Structure 1
């Protein structure tokens, strides 16, 4: 297992180097030019709920002070963080795993400036009713090194099971995109997957699966950050007014979710359907949102634990994320009178 994981990690590090991670140019490109479009990244997952609604309803684009906006969609965190570190993205909704990885490998330039969503990640299986029953089977994650990939491999390790992307370990962990995970699961190509919502709820509803692990059960008070908003130190210095405008919308959308969860879930589904051409069935939407909660504040203890888990798996040489969270702009936005 060690050699296969080392090869996977070597390949990841080569990719990071090629795209600019590991150098201190994470605020490069046009991010230092306040007149340039603000480039926002997010994923078409309901764990990026505020981003989905803010983009599709036009709330971000219409917000005074945000200026021109370019929105870019990604499938998983590492790809978005490569873009951020290479200077082709200014701010992004992303999972904690890739954010931590980028902070530690790209000169500690990344900054978490707000929380977004807690919960909403599950391990769904066809027949396995325990960790032991996963032995000899193939399980998927959205991308090597992403938040759910780290959670899956850490959990397997805690259960005394080895994991690698090639055959030969106790459990073969195969990274693939969320749509491919669902397709492979429905075809019987994999036993299960650790995925963000709504993919878990879809696997259960469409594939007759079951939730073997609800990740909330692994964290104190069942709270852990699934999605945060990140930018770079340089962007915070040079594009602060635009980022403040973005956060104003994010705060309003988060409050809207809290005050009207059913209505907001419907708005998320409408946005999800527009972006993916397949809105969720009402039962799937309800199940997925039952495992999500809005949160403006990152969970610092959970972030620190996530960094420790990634280091223990060999993804990181250090778990020191002190300085990664900067909520100064969020606090300014929350304290300012409504515009």
Structure 2
């Protein structure tokens, strides 16, 4: 499915406003472009010494912007930087301005499907949850993808029928997640194991977990075929406000802040790119990151009404329908938009995947390539540098 930026009334970013906002970024971008031209850009992975063992030899930067960037994202509020960046023309404008690159998009339901498309060469970059990115990195020996920025923290909950009041009552129940091996799927399986409930990737165990498309979960819950689901926003809020579910576990309560900047912070969405594409087109990655940061800044500075309107317009284009006001308001209360991928949380995310039986123990060194993001952030007022926490270049 492809989509082009569309007007969204008063919330559309004008070309003049974009140009004014970009002035502060020119120094950082110029540095990044100069590095690419002389062949020393961070995207010639390995030049920083952070490439994982087994990764291929660094490719020389071509110095040529891509003709097209094929970008994946989901129709979730947790993907709001993509929804707004696409709908308001922020991403397309940045790519066009810095190299004349055309933006095309594809919408996915969950991370494993997006990873499959990226590894097959059908897309070049995608917004995605952290666990599918980890899985791809591990399975490829570090050669498939790199995390280049964070997007969203928070916004995932286990919601259940009102009569369920404790984890022990989940035994013999049927729960849903968006897709086997996805971020919410891993979180649910790791949580159930921590509560002494056995679950297996093949579907067996004390709790049945059915991978289910988000759009179908509410109806199955209302029809009595599901007892609950671990979901990203807005789907958790939809089950609560539209189907009578309640929160049993808010994932933010499982993160005490020791691995991130503050209690309750955990990565829900990051921006990743194919290493092959990034090595061939570092200038295009610069432009993507510039637009990505601009979309996050717009979300963090817009009024509540403009933010909701822009996200709803993006959801309608991506998923075919807008959200009621109370649903989007509740969803946004649980989310923080940030370019920081919270790299310090990734060893725990990896361990969660191991505990869930969908990931093998591995060394995550080289997963993050944050050098170009930090160059962009250096030119944008109000931002500080982000860290790879020893798991890559920053």
TM-score (norm. length: structure 2):
0.75
Selected match of 1:47 from 59, 62, 78:
78
Partner residue of 2:373? Answer: 330
State the Cα deviation string for residues 153-178 of structure 1 (Å, max 9, x = none).
00000000012466752110111111
> Does the 8 A contact of 1:134 with 1:171 survive in 2?
yes
Shift in alpha-carbon separation, 1:107–1:32, aligned structure 2, 3 A: farther
Partner residue of 1:143? Answer: 179
State the Cα deviation string for residues 96-134 of structure 1 (Å, max 9, x = none).
010000000023121100000000001010131111111
Q: Is 1:82 aligned with 2:96?
A: no
> Does the 8 A contact of 2:200 with 2:356 survive in 1?
no
Which stretch shifts more, 131-140 or 262-271? Answer: 262-271
Q: Is 1:123 aligned with 2:158?
A: yes
Shift in alpha-carbon separation, 1:148–1:204, aligned structure 2, 3 A: same
Which stretch shifts more, 322-331 or 167-176? Answer: 167-176
Selected match of 1:247 from 285, 289, 298:
289
TM superposition shift of 1:311: 1.6
Partner residue of 2:272? Answer: 230
Q: Does the residue aligned with 2:239 lie in a helix, a strand or coil? A: helix
> Does the 8 A contact of 2:74 with 2:318 survive in 1?
no
Distance 1:253 1:156 in 2: 36
TM superposition shift of 1:265: 3.0
* Higher Rg of the two aligned structures: 2
State the Cα deviation string for residues 10-52 of structure 1 (Å, max 9, x = none).
xxxxxxxxxxxxx989x9xxx9984431111101111100100
In structure 1, runs of 5+ residues without a counterpart are: 1-22
> Does the 8 A contact of 1:40 with 1:69 survive in 2?
yes
> Does the 8 A contact of 1:119 with 1:216 survive in 2?
yes
> Does the 8 A contact of 1:39 with 1:70 survive in 2?
yes
> Does the 8 A contact of 2:201 with 2:357 survive in 1?
no
Partner residue of 1:13? Answer: none
Once the two structures are superposed, the pairs formed by residues 175-324 of structure 1 within 5 Å of their partners are 175-220=211-256, 221-260=263-302, 262=304, 263-324=306-367
TM-score (norm. length: structure 1):
0.87
Q: Does the residue aligned with 1:136 lie in a helix, a strand or coil? A: coil
Shift in alpha-carbon separation, 1:32–1:124, aligned structure 2, 3 A: farther
Q: Does the residue aligned with 1:163 lie in a helix, a strand or coil? A: coil
In structure 2, runs of 5+ residues without a counterpart are: 1-53, 257-262, 382-394
Which stretch shifts more, 60-69 or 188-197? Answer: 60-69
- Matched residue pairs, number? 313
The structure richer in helix per residue is 1
